[in-house]
Structure 1
Amino acid sequence: MKCEATSLNEMFGCNVFNDAVMRERLPKATYKALKKTIDGGVPLDPAVAEVVANAMKDWAIEKGATHFTHWFQPMTGVTAEKHDAFISPTADGKVIMEFSGKELIKGEPDASSFPSGGLRATFEARGYTAWDCTSPAFLKEDPAGVTLCIPTAFCSYTGEALDKKTPLLRSMEAISKQALRVLKLFGNTTATRVITTVGPEQEYFLVDRELYNKRKDLVFTGRTLFGAKPPKGQELEDHYFGVLKERISSFMKELNNELWKLGVSAKTQHNEVAPAQHELAPIFSTTNIATDHNQLTMEMMKKVAARHGLTCLLHEKPFAGINGSGKHNNWSMSTNDGQNLLDPGNTPHENAQFLVFLCGVIEAIDEYAELLRMSAANAGNDHRLGANEAPPAIISIFLGEQLTDILEQLEAAGTASSSKQGGELKIGVNTLPALPKDTTDRNRTSPFAFTGNKFEFRMVPSSASISGPNVVLNTIVAETLSRIADRLEKAIDFNAEVEALCKEVVVNHKKIIFNGNGYSDEWVAEAEKRGLPNISSTVEAVKHLISEKSIAVFEKHCVLSKAELYSRFEINLEAYIKQINIEALTMIEMSKRQIVPAAIKFANELAASINAVKLTGIDADVSVQAEILKDVSGTLASFKKNIEKLEKATAEAAEMHGDTYKQACAYRDEVFTAMSELRADGDKLETMIDAELWPMPTYADLLFNV
């Protein structure tokens, strides 16, 4: 039967085959063997899988499931699933419900229609899904029934990763291996794994579904390609943390319930800066599970929104001129014996282990800044990064006063002797308590900010999987930790070597540390002086995926091979090309079939009005009508020329073959430029044409009617 819990305690995880369910339903020996695989990375025994499969099937059927699916994350950035029924025919013409260990462990979806970036030819169709037992199976409920979903990795017939999960799992193993080497040097003999943890804050917009369906640009591209600025936007700052409207609150309540059933620890919800914009944040979990949960969160947001007559927009910039949406990726490292490696403690200057791991992160971000920037690149994010609303396109690290002061001490003296303390914040009202003050302020303009015991990577696109950024973070930090371990393992005087190492990192990589306003023009100039890269577009960013340095670090830690990296290079460029092409074609259609007819009709009505007045014989002044008609006709003429310009640029770019990078550059430089020019005229026409004649809902309609 479906989950019909009456309390939150009963509801949370009721549709998840989690540890509590496994402990209850599996034989003790099977449970222990499976836990060794989940927690310790021990290879899975097929006999264990057989027992688990039977228990999982019984549990799912009891809850109403008739089908199962291997749930995976191909390079499309969304999830995929192929459903199979539990039924198996019997000799007497009936069926029994079966689910074998083989079916649990391995699936075989057709791989030919998923992006492979040249790894597989179209006729080479075979691909495999492999059970990821570290992420629990779960049940999806919908009007059609209940389906058992088994998180899996997805690879080709020849073993290359065709998905987002496989490289993530590899990167988690890589950073664990190198971090353990460092920990052992500090005397930690109890930790056997280091786990990266993530808490992704998800921003999104909600708009009325009927209005959404009247906008071809939103339906086809996820963003508005036309739209004049409304009289009121976000300038009053009254929406941020404002009172939730009842319709939105009702949506959020149902969303929370659906996510809690799936074991997603949705914790915080609020209005964001832009009108109709909101945010959801979960409690931290392991990077693998957090990635799966974020995919489920985005999927569930769309489903629940539809039930409330709404549409959830996850595009990075659905509306020009107001804040777009991102996904803040809060990342940290923890041991399986309960230690957060990025927790500085009360006296971080004395915490040598913390300082070594901190230095490892600083060196990684500076040395591989281009690669990290690439991990946050897509066509939607090009509208957002550096637009005085999100982090700049320049990678830098915010550390705050306390840690910056410690690093300055290390640079000057080779050692640190003190840590700035936060103290108490006295508000000046007797009835209000004195508040413990944090040791540093927050900096929302920084793309990579230290926030107490974690780093917040604020560049991640709202629509994207968090797998990519975390694959990069895990891999580059694994690399710097491996260098640190190599050095410290050879040290004669360990403490002296730690001090020397930290000082060298500060001297060599302090240029990446910036605690000021990342939105300012002065920072752009300063960053250029420091030699920090300023990568403004996806096309420019993606090429860093296949640099010699990137290939070397990914191959060294067995995260991605050269072939797998080149495939992702092609896939990312193709996705960019296709997105811009769809947007251009949508603009052309909207222009020719909606805006031009509306403008002509308005011009005709104006002309008829002028003629009608003149025919009366009354000596009336029609100069106002004539002036408006002239302005509309002139703008319409320019609009028509820009339609033709966009059609030409799009056709020429589409015909370019053989070099995906050059084609992507053409879409960025020619097609996108032509789109911007066409939009300027279209938005001007919106402000001139009678509102009754304008063929689509306006920004005011979309942003303030939810």
Structure 2
Amino acid sequence: MSEYVNVVEIFGENVFNDAVMQARLPKKVYKELKQTMEEGKELTLEIADVVAHEMKEWAIEKGATHYSHWFQPLTGVTAEKHDAFITAPKPDGKVLMSFSGKELIKGEPDASSFPSGGLRATFEARGYTAWDCTSPAFVRQDAAGATLCIPTAFCSYTGEALDQKTPLLRSMEAINKEALRLIRLFGNTTSKKVTPSVGAEQEYFLVDAAKFMKRKDLIYTGRTLFGAMPPKGQELDDHYFGTIRQKIAGYMKDVNEELWKLGVSSKTQHNEVAPAQHELAPIYAPANIAVDHNQIIMQTLKRVARKHGLKCILHEKPFAGVNGSGKHDNWSLVTDDGINLLEPGKTPHENVQFLLVLSCILKAVDRHADLLRESASDVGNDHRLGANEAPPAIISIYLGEQLEDVVEQLVSTGTADHSLKGGRLMTGVRTLPDLAKDATDRNRTSPFAFTGNKFEFRMVGSQDSVAAPNIVLNTIVAEAFQEACKILENAEDFDVAVHDLIKTNCAEHQRIIFNGNGYSDAWVEEAKRRGLPNIRSMVDAIPALTTEKSIAMFEHFHVFTKTELESRTEVKYETYAKEINVEARAMIDIAAKQIIPAVIKYAKHLADAIISIQTIPGMDVSVETELLKETTKLLRESQTALKTLQEKTEAASLIENNERQARYYHDEVNAAMEALRKPIDQLEMIVDKEMWPMPSYGDLMFEV
């Protein structure tokens, strides 16, 4: 029986949170630090020294010997450099443990070795990490011992953002300024801050570690490049919300405890749709903290898996033929005194502030649908989006029947005089209570759905940072708020002006609303008729970053400069090309060194069997002969496809322009990879399992 865990006692025990700061810092220092965190007041080095000393003392009590500026470069994962607290030995040979305010506030990692899209050359190495004091430091305990991790932003010597955190914080400042401006128009004089609140659900696969290590494709790329479907997949829907197996339950228990200690409010866990697939969801947090927490979640999922003899796979599509993994980015706007700007209330048609906020979001998403789509693009997500298991590649908004009806009233008549009610859900069983029914259903096929008091952006890939989509959401909505405020602040009659503006926004951007089946072919045609973009791949999505409207908006709100956007474009093209190149080379390696030799052995085995059986008078070898013919036919197809893939991969490597190279990989190399996979997957269904050189899908998904 597992030991009892008191969640209240362990929650946040390894976090330098507000309670710890209040207990350990002098009142004056605590007050000034809080002003920095809440109002952006500059932190003096004197105050930073006191904070750093107490942070070090607290961390040492937790067993820490090192500290690290923990940041999020454009690699898709976090980065850190560990420095010990020790000072140079004194004359007596003893050392002191020290940590200064300067070391807390600023670090200097090498900026030339991280993706920069040309912003940094190899000989231009200097970069800076800057303490994000609004996201609490924490002590991570692992095989290296205990390390004080300090969340930071990362920028170049010349000031450009080289990370995900810096533009996120900039976008949070932009939405805060414009949202405050908007609610002031409605008489709110008490709220001092508006913060994007984010909850990022995380999907993942778990497989046996020993089997994982027998598959080079999983080792090198995080997904299976070959694999025939087992007799059973997810057809019976029996895995979804099914009873959690004991080994997985033990793993989840350890994951939760690790996360709770780090202040991550892991709330929900369950089996997902595909075999071996699961989900974890935290409670909402301010956007920058939620982004940090999601990185901690992904790292914890992987680290704890190793202790249980498992491998956690975060790739969006590790197995063909079953659902891939994503993460739902739940986004809302909340004031410092607890007001949710996306709370419609019981009578949404009368909630003018909510209707204005809603209409501005409709406008923002419709105007920048391409940018929002780009924010969720990555190589792995290309296998998932639009594949009848995840939102389509077309951006649309689901409002539900209640709000769609309100918008229809506004557009058609100019006024909304009622809201649909939820009513009661009658179960038909006397012993069960009748339930209060929501006024609207849910739509899992929508990429951007209103779900009560928030929007759920469902396109984000499972291994991606949620920073990018939240940067875009914050900025595009800030733009729409700003435009609304300019109109309303100069209006002679505010009530008439706000009514007209809501109606105009709804009428001009109603095309983005779609409550139907986003998986259907009919929606693709309908979206085309409406003029909505259908961006099918990462390569096609990247140009949205550097359109005139994107550059103008981001520069206006000081979220990105044109140079930063151009550099990120280069990074994304280069990343796409590199990842497909690795996949192609892995396929070549596996096919040439493992699969084709194994198939040749099997063919020889069949040929020997035929010869042997034929020595017995009257024996029929037609089955063996047919199998041998089919095997050699598919073997020949595989060898031809392998040669083509080798040629295409070599040709791609010679292209110097990043965009052209990425497009060649997308158009030519991807097709060659699919052509190689097809005959090999067919061969897996023929060749003796004992001769097949790697664990099958069934071995991986059902034998955990």
User: Which residue is equivalent to 1:305?
Assistant: 305
User: Is the contact made by 1:12 and 1:262 (CA closer than 8 Å) also made in structure 2?
Assistant: yes
- Look up the equivalent residue of 2:237 and give its one-letter code: E
**What's the counterpart of residue 543 of structure 2?**
543
Deviation of the 1:631 alpha carbon:
0.6
C-alpha separation in 1, matches of 2:516 and 2:620: 59
Aligned residues of 1:5 and 1:11 also touching (Cα < 8 A) = no
Q: Give TM-score scaled by structure 1 length.
A: 0.99
Measured in 1, the distance between the counterparts of 2:212 and 2:76 equals 23
Q: 1:444 matched to which residue of 2?
A: 444
Aligned pairs (5 A) from 1:344-493:
344-493=344-493
Aligned partners of 1:396 and 1:513 also within 8 Å: yes
1:293 aligns with 2:293: yes
Paired position in structure 1 for 2:210: 210
The aligned counterpart of 1:670 is: 668
Which residue number corresponds to residue 648 of structure 2? 649
* Paired amino acid for 1:281: A
2: CA distance, partners of 1:74 / 1:130: 13
Q: Provide the C-alpha distance between the structure 1 equivalents of 2:242 and 2:687, rounded to a whole number of angstroms.
A: 34
Instruction: Find out whether 1:590 has 2:590 as its counterpart.
Output: yes
State the shift of 1:615 in Å: 2.9
Rounded Cα–Cα distance in structure 1 between residues aligned with 2:268 and 2:614:
64
Aligned to 2:17: 18
**Aligned letter for 1:610?**
I
Distance in 2 between the 1:627 and 1:586 partners? 31
Deviation of 1:5 after TM superposition, in Å, equals 10
Following the alignment from structure 1 to structure 2, what is the Cα–Cα distance between the partners of residues 9 and 678? 54
Match of 1:33 in 2: 32
* TM-superposed deviation, 1:357: 0.6
Amino acid corresponding to residue 74 of structure 1 in structure 2: P
- 1:107-142, Cα deviation, whole Å (9 max, x unpaired): 011111100001111110000000000000000101
2:20 and 2:200 mapped to 1: Cα distance?
A: 26
Distance 1:360 1:614 in 2: 79
Question: Cα distance, 1:92 vs. partner?
Answer: 2.4
Q: Matched residues in 2 for 1:162 and 1:403: separation?
A: 40
Question: What is the identity, as a one-letter code, of the residue corresponding to 1:429?
Answer: V
Query: Deviation at 1:77?
Result: 1.2
Q: Distance in 1 between matches of 2:111 and 2:653?
A: 26
Q: After the TM superposition, which residues 233-252 of structure 1 pair with which residues of structure 2 at under 5 Å, given as runs?
A: 233-252=233-252
Aligned to 1:94: 94
Q: Is the 8 A contact 1:153 1:166 kept in 2?
A: yes
Query: Which SS does the other structure have where 1:631 is aligned?
Result: helix
- CA apart distance, 1:143: 2.6
Name the aligned partner's letter for residue 699 of structure 1.
Answer: Y
Equivalent residues of 1:646, 1:674 under 8 A apart: yes
Contact between 1:364 and 1:476, CA under 8 Å: does it hold in 2?
yes
The amino acid across from 2:151 in the alignment is: P
Q: CA deviation at 1:414?
A: 1.7
SS of residue matched to 2:267: strand
2:678 aligned residue (663, 677, 680): 680
Q: 2:42 and 2:104 mapped to 1: Cα distance? A: 15
Instruction: Specify the code of the residue in structure 2 equivalent to 1:361.
Output: I
1:42 is displaced (CA, Å) by 1.5
Give distance in 2, aligned partners of 1:614 and 1:343: 79
Q: Report what 1:267 is aligned to.
A: 267
Give the Cα separation in 2 of the matches to 1:154 and 1:87: 25
Secondary structure at 1:206's aligned position in 2?
strand
Q: Which amino acid aligns with 1:682?
A: I
Paired with 1:635 and 1:475, the residues of 2 have a C-alpha distance of 53
1:434 CA drift (Å)? 1.1
Equivalent residue of 2:685, what SS? helix
Unpaired segments ≥5 residues, structure 1: none
Q: Which residue of 2 aligns with 1:342?
A: 342
Equivalent residue letter for 1:527: A
Q: Distance in 2 between matches of 1:551 and 1:368?
A: 12
Deviation at 1:256, TM superposition (A): 0.1
What secondary structure does 1:95 align onto? coil
1:180 aligns with 180
In structure 2, C-alpha distance between the alignment counterparts of 1:7 and 1:634, rounded to whole Å: 62
Question: Which residue is equivalent to 1:63?
Answer: 62
Offset of residue 666 of structure 1: 0.3
Once the two structures are TM-superposed, the CA of residue 582 in structure 1 deviates from its matched residue by 0.3
Secondary structure of the structure 1 residue equivalent to 2:96: strand
Match of 1:152 in 2: 152
Deviation at 1:75, TM superposition (A): 0.6
1:36-89: per-residue Cα shift (whole Å, max 9, x none)? Answer: 111122221221111100110110111111110000000101101100011112
**Counterpart-to-counterpart distance in 2, 1:655 and 1:623:** 49
Match of 2:165 in 1: 165
Letter of the 1:72 partner, please give it: F
Give the equivalent residue in structure 1 for 2:132. 132
Question: AA paired with 1:381?
Answer: N
Counterpart-to-counterpart distance in 1, 2:4 and 2:83? 28
Q: Tell me the SS of whatever aligns to 1:392.
A: coil
Report what 1:114 is aligned to: 114
1: CA distance, partners of 2:414 / 2:359: 14
Asked if 2 retains the 8 angstrom alpha-carbon contact of 1:225 and 1:679, the reply is yes
Q: Letter of the aligned partner of 2:447 in structure 1?
A: P
Output the amino acid matched with 2:543.
Answer: K
TM-score of the two chains, using structure 2 as the length reference: 0.99
Q: Aligned residue for 1:698? A: 696
Contact persistence 1:26–1:55 (CA under 8 A): yes
**Cross-structure match for 2:608:** 608
Is the CA contact (8 Å cut-off) linking 1:329 and 1:466 kept in structure 2? yes
CA distance in 1, matches of 2:244, 2:81: 38
Compared CA separation, residues 601 and 6, structure 1 to 2 (3 A): closer
Q: Partners in 2 of 1:43 and 1:352 — Cα distance?
A: 37
Residues in 1 aligned to 2:20 and 2:358: alpha-carbon distance in whole angstroms: 38
- Cα distance per residue 1:344-395 (max 9 Å; x no partner): 0111111100011111111000000000000000000000000000000000
Which amino acid in the other structure matches residue 87 of structure 1?
A: I
SS of equivalent to 2:393 = coil
Q: Answer yes or no: is the 8 Å Cα contact 1:265–1:282 preserved in 2.
A: yes
Does residue 223 (structure 1) correspond to residue 223 (structure 2)? The answer is yes
**In structure 1, C-alpha distance between the alignment counterparts of 2:433 and 2:339, rounded to whole Å:** 31
User: How many percent identity over aligned positions?
Assistant: 63
* 1:199 alignment partner, SS class: strand
Letter of the structure 2 residue corresponding to residue 671 of structure 1: V
In the alignment, is the contact (CA less than 8 A) between 1:204 and 1:279 conserved in 2? yes
- The equivalent of 2:629 in structure 1 is 630
Between the aligned partners of 2:281 and 2:250, the Cα distance in structure 1 is 17
- Give 5+ residue unaligned stretches, structure 2: none
Measure, in 2, the Cα distance between the counterparts of 1:32 and 1:7. Answer: 31
Matched residue SS, 2:558: coil
Counterpart code for 2:672: A
Structure 2 Cα separation of the partners of residues 669 and 230 of structure 1: 29
The answer as to whether partners of 1:210 and 1:309 remain within 8 angstroms in 2 is: yes
- Counterpart amino acid of 1:686? E
**Cα distance in 1 between the residues matched to 2:60 and 2:268:** 33
User: Conserved in 2, the CA contact under 8 Å of 1:227 and 1:683?
Assistant: yes
Deviation at 1:6, TM superposition (A): 5.7
Q: Which amino acid is the alignment partner of residue 693 of structure 2? A: P
SS in 1 for 2:673: helix
Q: What secondary structure sits across from 2:579 in the alignment?
A: helix
Partner-residue secondary structure (3-state), 2:463 = coil
User: Is the Cα contact below 8 Å between 1:139 and 1:148 reproduced in 2?
Assistant: yes
Query: Which amino acid in structure 1 is aligned with residue 582 of structure 2?
Result: I
SS of the residue corresponding to residue 328 of structure 2 reads strand
The 1:136–1:427 alpha-carbon spacing in structure 2 relative to 1, beyond 3 Å, is: same
> How large is the RMSD of aligned CA atoms in angstroms?
0.9
The 5 A counterparts of 1:492-571 are 492-571=492-571
Preserved contact between residue 206 and residue 312 of structure 1 (Cα < 8 Å):
yes
